[in-house]
Structure 1
């Protein structure tokens, strides 16, 4: 599913399985979740199994995916990537750093946010133009907004190491003609950082009970 949102030069792997193959973790990865509950161990291993498939597709030797600040995945030298997991779905993507500066993906269940979260993650302008709840019981826009902001953060943070608040990204959604379940979005940031754009373009999709978003920040031709 995630590959529908990304260009061909980004390697993608996903799964609807909740468990990874036995022994799929490197010892140093296993130590990161040694004291975690089984559910956390399973999702941790399953998403890293996806990461290993993406590495293979990109022609990169399999390697551990360790954790950096705030749990940021640490990818093999010369690559950038992103991972996501929610109940019933895991995905990982990987690209060459010579082509892509950063990539952010996120998947969420296509269902309403818990009470009170909408008011925390959305600004007045977003609330004015983003429907609350489901449109025709197809798109839960509040959850899609949350997912888009997660993709923005995953794109921004690895390059800046600067925290980004939900209200510092203003999202505008567009729906593709002829469909109500996919489209694009623009994120305008109020926060600035050296050599970072203020505007980010992404894509979104509703499929199989999930809301999925993705952003690719390419290397500029002059870089």
Structure 2
């Protein structure tokens, strides 16, 4: 099989799994954001084997079909985003801490939830960290339990005039997940949902800001604010939080 035939065969296999891929418009500079849907009907391990190195394949070999497809969809989007920067790389592998192994000059984030995946990539020269998250809307029955785990006293005050329905709770949950992804590489340790509060939400512009309520590291001090954006789709919420490099 020649190279062109092999490439066409791979693309055919991917079309059976990943579909509706599109680039999401982002107004901030040096960010590339992609979204796709994926399905499980026609998956087999040949698709995964064709797109990952042997080490990554062995790491995922015993995982569920759902996990393998999520991995493949997210990594393919990351590869597509990197190609927009002119980087022709193989799929992003897995580091020992289970984080994606991004190319040296880039930083990014990947998320997936119930048939949808997203990935965002940026130049490391511009951002210290970046986090994205996509979530299906929570069930009404679980929001009360979840809100106690993720909302601070300040959050309850912030939303005192806004019903804490499944849309709001899912949005807050997703934003704090994105914050964790954006800050964890710099913090170097886990921190809870209550380490930060919602500082601002602009539903018209899809903008959100969070403020740290505790110091996470010498460079991530209490009171630091981190901005981002969000989108409320029909079936999913997605959020992105940015940790830009400090300009000297």
Could you say which TM-score interval applies, normalised by the shorter chain? 0.7 to 0.9
Evaluate the alpha carbon distance shift between residue 30 and residue 208 of structure 1 in structure 2; reply closer, same or farther with a 3 A threshold.
farther
Q: CA RMSD in A?
A: 2.3
Unaligned runs of 5+ in 2: 1-21
Q: In structure 2, what is the Cα distance between the partners aligned to 1:11 and 1:4?
A: 8
Q: Per-residue deviation at 1:200?
A: 0.7
2:180 partner SS: helix
| Larger displacement relative to structure 2 (24-33 or 43-52) | 24-33
The yes-or-no answer on 1:129 pairing with 2:158 is: yes
Aligned twin of 1:163: 190
Match of 1:12 among 27, 30, 33: 33
Q: In structure 1, what is the Cα distance between the partners aligned to 2:168 and 2:98?
A: 27
Aligned twin of 1:143: 170
Confirm or deny: 8 A CA contact 2:158 2:198 kept in the other structure.
no
Q: In structure 1, what is the Cα distance between the partners aligned to 2:90 and 2:136?
A: 29
Confirm or deny: 8 A CA contact 2:183 2:243 kept in the other structure.
no
Confirm or deny: 8 A CA contact 1:189 1:199 kept in the other structure.
yes
Confirm or deny: 8 A CA contact 1:18 1:46 kept in the other structure.
no
Q: Deviations over 1:34-83 (max 9, x none)?
A: 10111111111111111111111111231342334653222111111101
1:41 partner SS: helix
Aligned twin of 1:137: none
Q: Per-residue deviation at 1:214?
A: 0.6
TM-score by length of 2: 0.77
Unaligned runs of 5+ in 1: 135-139
Q: Per-residue deviation at 1:121?
A: 1.1
Confirm or deny: 8 A CA contact 1:58 1:94 kept in the other structure.
no
Aligned twin of 2:109: 82
Q: Per-residue deviation at 1:27?
A: 2.4
TM-score by length of 1: 0.85
Match of 1:92 among 114, 119, 139: 119
Aligned twin of 2:134: 107
Confirm or deny: 8 A CA contact 1:80 1:102 kept in the other structure.
yes
Q: In structure 2, what is the Cα distance between the partners aligned to 1:105 and 1:85?
A: 10
1:73 partner SS: coil
Q: Per-residue deviation at 1:95?
A: 1.2
Confirm or deny: 8 A CA contact 2:38 2:69 kept in the other structure.
no
If you compute each CA radius of gyration, which structure gives the higher value, 1 or 2?
2
Return the structure number with greater relative CO, CA threshold 8 A, min gap 6.
Answer: 1
Evaluate the alpha carbon distance shift between residue 2 and residue 125 of structure 1 in structure 2; reply closer, same or farther with a 3 A threshold.
farther
